[in-house]
Chain A
Amino acid sequence: MTLADVARSKIHYKILSFFHENQASLDSPKGIATWIREERTPVKKALEDLVKMEILVAHRSSSMTGYSYTTDQKLIKQIQRLLEKKR
């Protein structure tokens, strides 16, 4: 999956926008699904896709996984450009 693919998928794009706007957020799939008003199962899958792309960081524990935004400034700038273009 590439950044362009992320922009084409509604859920991936909504998650990306959410984390870009709330860079200090760290939330569970359920929480993120609530913020972006989507179903939890596809959100969970999309979150893992974004982790593979290193856009999100997964904090895994025995009982849950929390997701947060990348701290890579270069990647954040690329995402910024993508979001501006899309708007």
Chain B
Amino acid sequence: MNTGNVMDLDREILERLKESKSLENEKACFGNCLDSIGWWIVEKIPANLHELKQLIAKNSNGFGAYFTKNRVSLEPIRQALLESSTTKRVEKFSCSDDLHGFVYPLTIRDKISGFIGTLYTRKDIDTSIINIFSSFTDTVVMEVEKEYELAKLHETVRPRAIALSTVHTVHRLISSTLDLNELLPRIARLSLQIIRANRCSIKLVDSTRKVLLPKTTVDLREKKTRLKKVRIGRWAPGKSVKLSKPVRGERYLAVPLIDEDVIGVITIYDKIDRKPFTAYDEEIMTTLAEQAVIAIKNAQLYKEQEKLTLGGIKSLAAVLDAHRPIRHTPKLSLHKITLLIGQKLSMDEHELRCLEYAAVLHDAGQLVVPEEVLRKPTKLTGQEYELVKEHPERSVKIIKPIRTLKAVIPIILHHHENYNGSGYPKGLKGEQIPLGARIMAVVDAFEAMITKRPYRKPMDIDDAIEEIRKNSGTQFDPKVVTVFLQIIKKHDIRSMLEKEIDDAR
């Protein structure tokens, strides 16, 4: 088998040699020196003279037709071929008074794979010319051989390099998100793209380690997809998890997601070209699953960390609530309004999360304002008001050690800035004020107006809305006010707000 392949390779190189420009140049160059009118190349030493005649005629670019018509014994050529295959040197021959020539073996990959010959040369050819000829021929053969190897290398390496680049791109794409809800469909879609299949489903092992929970299914053929639980050990995904190795059939390929233990499985169904899944698909999917499991673990850890952060924020908010003179605010409605404004103003997921945290923590600095000041039923003195005005900076001091809340700081610090620059602590104006802070400013002011204070009764909701509208462009960002007015007008929001206020009274 191997010998056959090697022979095929040598034959391919020989064919390339026949077509090569360098050989053409060599023929032209030595043709002049040797007065030769005919060149021929044969792969092997023919078994008989008839075959030799045919071969030379066939491989000598036309002049052989003339040559075959003449009754000349070709035995000297056959002898020269035999001798040169042993000596590996140029061997001359003379078939008649006017038919002289020589043959030289073509050594490909250290093995004689053919012969080049001349006809109708001068009888006495200078040895130095023959030496140059043999060196030149060896160089041409070597050059063709190298070209061939390079072409083969390109043919073999390029698809692998492209596949490697694909894996690298997939890795970058799946590592760029820490949100599991975004990550899993992305992994599924990328798997379908690179395997060229129709359906991909990702299932994760549940906490009891008995069942696989469906997390995402992408089907290029159907818009609707079914999410089904699978018992570990059943069907291709279940078997793959149980055995901790890929399970491949003609129309499916299940690859386990293995961390320290199996955490889930990616299953692909139905190749677009309807061909069966191959070992190559399995290899690619195994590599992709290795990348995917890292991304999934990172996303899960991030989610855990977020839960911890949120827990810390909630504790801090509880402490803050206990300290505040106004305990009964419609928190849920106001949080919802805040987030809806953020969404309407095209904030991304991260910005919305920061806004949510800021909504809980923006008044954390009031913890360090004396309680008698916060609960004072009469108007504050100048000194007391200055103390209250410091609360955004004090809030920042409290949350600064929590690194994950870094992006929340600008919202908290500037939520008392006014759009016209008359606010505090920095006197920022317009777009200088972070968007989150401009949103907080509106909602915070609205909250202050509709809740009871030690020194005044709560304002009616419609009056508070009117007050916000009146201060649009001066105290508040008009864009934020417009969105706020649209949201507060909504029936469900208004009802939720009124119910919460009623419940608090």
Do B172 and A63 touch across chains, with their CB atoms under 8 A apart? yes
A79 to B114, CA, bound (A): 43
Q: Which of A39-80 contact B (CB under 8 A)?
A: 57, 59, 61-64, 66, 68-69, 71, 73
Is the C-beta of B54 less than 8 angstroms from some C-beta in chain A?
no
A-chain residues with CB within 8 Å of residue B284 when the two chains form the complex: 24
**Which stretch (B162-170, B204-212, B465-473, B490-498) binds chain A?**
B162-170
Shortest distance in angstroms between B231's beta carbon and chain A's nearest beta carbon? 31
Instruction: Report whether over half of chain B's contact residues are helix, strand or loop; otherwise say mixed.
Output: helix
Is the C-beta of B49 less than 8 angstroms from some C-beta in chain A?
no
Do A68 and B194 touch across chains, with their CB atoms under 8 A apart? yes
A68 to B192, CA, bound (A): 11
Which of A35, A59, A62 is most buried by chain B, counting CB atoms within 10 A of its CB?
Answer: A59
Q: What are 27 inter-chain pairs, A to B, with CB distance below 8 A?
A: A22-B162, A24-B196, A24-B284, A25-B162, A25-B194, A26-B166, A26-B169, A26-B170, A26-B190, A27-B165, A35-B162, A35-B165, A57-B193, A59-B173, A59-B193, A61-B173, A61-B176, A61-B186, A62-B176, A63-B172, A63-B176, A64-B173, A64-B176, A66-B169, A66-B172, A71-B220, A73-B272
Shortest distance in angstroms between B223's beta carbon and chain A's nearest beta carbon? 15
A52 to B176, CA, bound (A): 24
Do B173 and A27 touch across chains, with their CB atoms under 8 A apart? no
Contact A26:B194 (CB < 8 A) given known A63-B176, A66-B170: yes
Shortest distance in angstroms between A37's beta carbon and chain B's nearest beta carbon? 12
Do A31 and B173 touch across chains, with their CB atoms under 8 A apart? no
Contact A24:B166 (CB < 8 A) given known A62-B177, A71-B272: yes
Is the C-beta of A28 less than 8 angstroms from some C-beta in chain B?
yes
A31 to B220, CA, bound (A): 26
Shortest distance in angstroms between A22's beta carbon and chain B's nearest beta carbon? 5
A13 to B162, CA, bound (A): 18
Is the C-beta of B82 less than 8 angstroms from some C-beta in chain A?
no
Within the complex, which residue of B172, B176, B195, B198 is in contact with A24, where a contact is CB–CB below 8 Å? B195
Query: Top 7 nearest A-B pairs by Cβ distance?
Result: A61-B176, A68-B193, A66-B169, A63-B176, A26-B166, A31-B165, A24-B194
**Residue in A closest to B284 when the chains form the complex, CB atoms:** A24
Within the complex, which residue of B163, B177, B194, B195 is in contact with A61, where a contact is CB–CB below 8 Å? B177
**Total A-B pairs, Cβ < 8 A:** 66
**Residue in A closest to B168 when the chains form the complex, CB atoms:** A31
Is the C-beta of B159 less than 8 angstroms from some C-beta in chain A?
yes
**Residue in A closest to B182 when the chains form the complex, CB atoms:** A61
Given A27-B162, A61-B172, A61-B176, output 16 extra A-B contacts at Cβ < 8 Å: A25-B163, A25-B165, A25-B166, A26-B169, A26-B190, A27-B166, A27-B169, A35-B165, A59-B193, A62-B177, A64-B169, A64-B172, A66-B169, A66-B172, A71-B196, A71-B220
A-chain residues with CB within 8 Å of residue B189 when the two chains form the complex: 59
Do B159 and A22 touch across chains, with their CB atoms under 8 A apart? yes
**Residue in B closest to A68 when the chains form the complex, CB atoms:** B193
Contact surface of B with A, Cβ cutoff 8 Å: 159, 162-163, 165-166, 168-170, 172-173, 176-177, 186, 189-190, 192-196, 198, 220, 272, 284
B-chain residues with CB within 8 Å of residue A68 when the two chains form the complex: 193-194
Q: How large is the interface on A (under 10, 10 to 19, 20 to 34, 35 or more residues)?
A: 20 to 34
A31 to B173, CA, bound (A): 14
Shortest distance in angstroms between B271's beta carbon and chain A's nearest beta carbon? 10
A-chain residues with CB within 8 Å of residue B168 when the two chains form the complex: 31
Shortest distance in angstroms between B180's beta carbon and chain A's nearest beta carbon? 15
A63 to B442, CA, bound (A): 33
A-chain residues with CB within 8 Å of residue B166 when the two chains form the complex: 24-27
Shortest distance in angstroms between A72's beta carbon and chain B's nearest beta carbon? 9
Shortest distance in angstroms between A16's beta carbon and chain B's nearest beta carbon? 15
Contact A31:B194 (CB < 8 A) given known A59-B186, A62-B176: no
A31 to B168, CA, bound (A): 10
**Residue in B closest to A23 when the chains form the complex, CB atoms:** B196
Do A28 and B196 touch across chains, with their CB atoms under 8 A apart? no
**Residue in B closest to A69 when the chains form the complex, CB atoms:** B193
Within the complex, which residue of B177, B193, B220 is in contact with A26, where a contact is CB–CB below 8 Å? B193
Within the complex, which residue of A28, A31, A35, A71 is in contact with B193, where a contact is CB–CB below 8 Å? A71
B-chain residues with CB within 8 Å of residue A35 when the two chains form the complex: 162, 165
B-chain residues with CB within 8 Å of residue A22 when the two chains form the complex: 159, 162
A12 to B141, CA, bound (A): 39
**Residue in B closest to A26 when the chains form the complex, CB atoms:** B166
A9 to B186, CA, bound (A): 32
Within the complex, which residue of A23, A28, A57, A71 is in contact with B172, where a contact is CB–CB below 8 Å? A28
A63 to B173, CA, bound (A): 8
B-chain residues with CB within 8 Å of residue A69 when the two chains form the complex: 193
Shortest distance in angstroms between B136's beta carbon and chain A's nearest beta carbon? 33
A-chain residues with CB within 8 Å of residue B163 when the two chains form the complex: 24-25
Shortest distance in angstroms between A15's beta carbon and chain B's nearest beta carbon? 13
**Residue in B closest to A60 when the chains form the complex, CB atoms:** B173
Shortest distance in angstroms between B166's beta carbon and chain A's nearest beta carbon? 5
A74 to B173, CA, bound (A): 28
Do B272 and A66 touch across chains, with their CB atoms under 8 A apart? no
